[in-house]
Amino acid sequence: MAVNGSIEGERRRRELVELARTAGEISIEQAATQFDVSTMTIRRDLEMLEVEGSVRRVRGGAVPATGPRSYDERLATRGSAKRAIARKALDLVPRRGAIALDASTTVNALAEMLGDHGALTACTNSVQTFELLARLGGVEAQLTGGAHEAITGSLVGPIANAGARLLHTRVFFTSSDGISPEGGTSEASLAEAEVKRHLAQSADATVLCADSSKLGKRSTGMALELSAVSTLITELDPADPRLDPYRDLVEIR
């Protein structure tokens, strides 16, 4: 019986890790209901998973552990939220001029919606987004260049940073691994954080596109202060109280 219980616990913890990765967060109460166990059992599971480095505990639950995740893994996470954010962001894309897009899957969802957008130049440090943009009519796609970061799929390093500075853009669309009112945006990769700073410095305005699981979270590399961000777009209703800490800092959509 003890062996069976141990096997069941291992299975549950594997599913908890997968839930954290796909949903972006775990609620202790919801997980206890889903797995038909006590909240104390879930707390012990999360303690073990945090020691293993699989999750990071937060009040009321846990979020995925910080660290670069593959492009495909990020692409499969919170897809409906990313599409909702992209639809809101589409209104801020100019018909002409230049824009910059980071290597996030959230901003890639925006690129998928661009279509024929007139005389628009779009620069990105994402190989995947560049390939998507290159197939669009009316969009001149530019790639920053740089070293390919195998896990995230983004281009980073001195050449990417230099490429990010070469083009003056009207809007930089970016996401982040974490957002806090005090610390601004943060990334799992220090190199990714650096190239985003250069892209933001070359833009007239920076639009932060991030789903609600990123709110209140801090990751390894500090990227942008919120004073450098003009607009925050999430999948939430702008009146949602979860956005209250950011209202005096950025425009919310």
pLDDT along the chain (253 residues), means of 10: 61 87 85 94 90 78 69 59 94 94 94 81 94 88 92 88 96 95 91 96 97 86 96 96 96 97
112's tokens: 């998928």
**Tokens representing 44?**
């012990």
The predicted pLDDT at position 115 comes to 77
Render the burial of 17-56: b for 16+ CB within 10 Å, e for the rest: bebbbebbbbebeebbeebebeeebbbebbeebeeeebbb
Alpha carbons within 13 angstroms on the beta-carbon side of residue 129 total: 31
Q: Looking up tokens 């919170």, which residue turns up?
A: 78
Residue found by looking up tokens 């910080």 in the block: 66
Q: Rounded CA gap, 69 and 222, in Å?
A: 17
Asked if residue 168 lies in contact with residue 196, where contact means CB atoms within 8 angstroms, the answer is: no
Residue 109's pLDDT is 94
Predicted local confidence at residue 3, as pLDDT: 38
pLDDT for the residue 52: 66
Return the pLDDT at 24.
Answer: 77
Per-residue pLDDT, 14:
84
| Strands ordered across the beta sheet of 26-27 | 26-27, 61-64, 55-58
Q: Whole-prediction pTM value?
A: 0.73
